[in-house]
Structures are given as C-alpha cells and as structure tokens.
Amino acid sequence: MLFAIFFAFWRFMQIITLIPTMGMLAYFVNGYVQLNQLTPNYILVLFIVSVLALAWSIYTLFSYHRSSANATFVAIFDLLFVGAFIGAVWALRMIATADCTNITRGDPYDISFGPFGSASVTNWDTNVDKTCAMLKASFAFGIMNCVFFFITSILACLHGDRASSSDRTSYYRETHSHRHGHRSSRSPHSRHSTHSHRRVYV
C-alpha cells in the first residue's frame, strides 16, 4: 500500500511537469514546420523524450496492477528514461546561462503630496523574452524529470525485490505443504495394503 502511494505521487509529478514541457516544445516544433525548416536537435530530442515519457507515465499509472506485477521491468524502463532526459538536457545546456529577462530604467517622475511635499519615483520596465523563457522552463522540467524517474525506478526496483522474495517464500510453503500432505496420504494407504496382504496369505 505504501509503495502504491509513493509510486502514484511521483507519477503524478512526472505527468504534471511533462505536460507543459511537451506543450511548449510542440509550439517550437510547429513553428519550424510552418516555416518549412528542420527543428534543431536540442528542441527535437527533448520533445520526443517528453512525449514518450508522458505516455509511459500515464500507462503505468492507470494500469497500476499490471505495473506492480512487472516492477522490475518498470524499473528498467524508468532508468532508461533517466538516461534519455540527461542526454536531452545536455543537448539544451546552452540555455542554462541565457538571460531571458531584461530590466530597463525609465524616466523618473515626481509625485506631489500637496503641502506635505513631493517624491521622485523611477519607473522600471521589464521585458521577458518568450522564446528564451519557454526553453529555460523546458530545461528545468527536464532536470526535474531526471530526478523523478530515478525515484520511481528505485521504488519499482525495491518493490520487485520484495515481490520476488515473497513469491519464493510462498512457493517454499506450498511445496513443503504439498510434500507433507503427500507423505500423510501415503501412510494409510501403505498400512491398508499391508493389512490386505496379510489377509490374503492367511
């Protein structure tokens, strides 16, 4: 039960961060397609990884019973997505040092308070580069999903080890009880056959 709660929580975190990532990168891909130009690799790689990771997260969340039965398989796939996100983030690493916000100082102006005097106020203008901000947000979400998929991989791996050990224990118990029952069932039969054997020869 505890595994299900933690696993579902981190899957929700992955879905929440992957949906805006896919949407922002789809905006860039659509823009390049309309201009009949090739999408740069640093955008295309993260977009493909985000789409696949989102589909995998939704599938494993809504088919939880099947995912918990194949926990080791889920752990391996999540670990592969960790490597894929690391590669995608590395391709987009140049956006990490970009300055997406430009703050400029405007002209000062005076505010009069009547008999109480006046005050000089400076106006500040903030300009945000939309393209840079969207790429930087996608870069940050990519780093976050590296951590998220690593956590779900560890959770699935631990659940798989626990499930396999419980299967081995139940198999041992079933085998032991089967052998014990088989021996007990053979005992009366052997006594009965011996008794009948003596009656024939007497």
- pTM of whole model > 0.95? no
Q: How far is Cα of residue 53 from the mean position of the Cα atoms in its chain?
A: 7
pLDDT for 7 equals: 86
Taking a C-beta distance cutoff of 8 angstroms, is the pair 155, 14 a contact? Answer: no
Q: Tokens standing for 24?
A: 């922002």
- 61/39 Cα distance (integer angstroms): 31
Which residue stretches of the chain have pLDDT < 50? 163-178, 180, 182, 184-185, 187, 189-202
Taking a C-beta distance cutoff of 8 angstroms, is the pair 51, 15 a contact? Answer: no
pLDDT for 129 equals: 83
- Span 137-164, pLDDT tens digits: 999 999 999 999 999 999 988 875 554 4
pLDDT for 122 equals: 65
Q: Tokens standing for 1?
A: 């039960």
